[in-house]
Amino acid sequence: MILAGDIGGTKTVLSILTGDANGSLTCVQEQTYPSRQYPEFDDILTAFLPAGVNIKSACFGVAGPVVNQRCQTTNLPWLLDAAALKIKLGTAKVKLLNDLEAMALGMLYLPEHDLVELNPNAETQEGNIAVIAAGTGLGEAILYWDGNKHHPMATEGGHSDFAAQNPRQDQLLAYLRKSYPDHVSYERILSGIGFSHLYDFLCEQDFAPPCTDVPDNNGDIDRNAVISGLGVSGEDRLCAEAVRLFVELYGAETGNLALKSLAIGGIFIGGGIGPKILPAMQDGNFIQAFKAKGRFLPLLDKIPVKLSLNPRTPLIGAINYFDL
């Protein structure tokens, strides 16, 4: 049996699969758990594993930096240790991957119908690929091309400094420094909570009257989902501008990642937010910001930029890790 997992700040997905003589895999059991309801990952693992199951190999994509096969999760109080997992699972084949590493691998296995091309001028090229994913946090990874195959490389690029590109963004940076005086990262904007930050910033700027349908920060309703939903539908002017600004910033940081990794092989966009705001991602604002890199516009103009619609991409990467 193969055990695979996608361990995130919001949810954890575990899957057990069995393979046949031809190498085809069949899912035996799969379950999703709300991560924050469990004190430790081991609690989920114990609840999921069937009695007497024989695990041949296990791979987990984890939302956090993996160092020496140990990971202190970024948005959870969990510590995962591959050595301890080998003992618990009774197998020497256990691998911890950064969640974006797992997602990057999974992208290589997606069919075209799971992908939406955002760049109308895209041309297929061989080379490095980069992956960016806004969700609970902001993840970034690279698929290095060695001339024959791609190799996943984890990064923590989502925590790099937010770089303002125009006067409005200058004001946004000054606003965010009130809450994060030591460091304003892209993740503070390009993640679920980012919609609230952008909405509140625009309120302070008197861009438009506050929306009566947007709850306050202390309510039980998902405020960020309300803002993004009203923004994509265009029902509220302030929410629409928050979404427009989110997409503009998302495009700019995706372009930064493309330059840093020289990702002429393409960019994949993962995470839960992109598909939810797909109309806004397709209206031209994202790709315009992606290409707005001065002298490097001709390079970026031809790079494929594909948005994944498949939420299981990190799990698919973890499932296929030991077959690489």
Q: Are 190 and 164 in contact (CB under 8 A)?
A: no
Band (pLDDT 50/70/90 cuts) for residue 8 is confident
Asked if pLDDT for residue 23 goes beyond 80, the answer is: no
Q: How does pLDDT run across 239-289, given as a tens digit for each residue?
A: 999 999 999 999 999 999 999 999 999 999 999 999 999 999 999 999 999
Q: Tell the CATH superfamily of the 2-92 domain.
A: ATPase, nucleotide binding domain (3.30.420.40)
Least confident of 48-52, 127-131, 307-311: 48-52
Q: How does pLDDT run across 105-132, given as a tens digit for each residue?
A: 999 999 999 999 999 999 999 999 999 9
- The stretch 9-18 carries a mean pLDDT of 92
Q: How does pLDDT run across 82-109, given as a tens digit for each residue?
A: 999 999 999 999 999 999 999 999 999 9
Strand residues in 155-299 grouped as ranges (E)? 266-270
Question: Is 42 labelled a binding residue?
Answer: no
CB-neighbour burial class of residue 77 (10 A; exposed 0-12, middle 13-18, buried 19+): exposed
Q: Are strands 57-62 and 2-7 parallel, antiparallel or unpaired?
A: parallel
Band (pLDDT 50/70/90 cuts) for residue 324 is low
Tokens of 255: 């372009």
Q: Are 2 and 19 in contact (CB under 8 A)?
A: yes
CATH of domain 112-308: 3.40.367.20
Question: Is 18 labelled a binding residue?
Answer: no
To the nearest whole number, what is the mean pLDDT of the chain? 95
Question: Is 158 labelled a binding residue?
Answer: no
Global model pTM greater than 0.75:
yes
- pLDDT value of position 218: 79
Question: Is 283 labelled a binding residue?
Answer: no
Q: Where are the domains of the chain?
A: 2-92, 112-308
Q: How does pLDDT run across 181-239, given as a tens digit for each residue?
A: 999 999 999 999 999 999 999 999 999 999 999 998 877 889 999 999 999 999 999 99
Tokens of 133: 């994913």
Intrachain domains 2-92 and 112-308 with the same fold: no
Question: Is 23 labelled a binding residue?
Answer: no
Question: Is 222 labelled a binding residue?
Answer: no
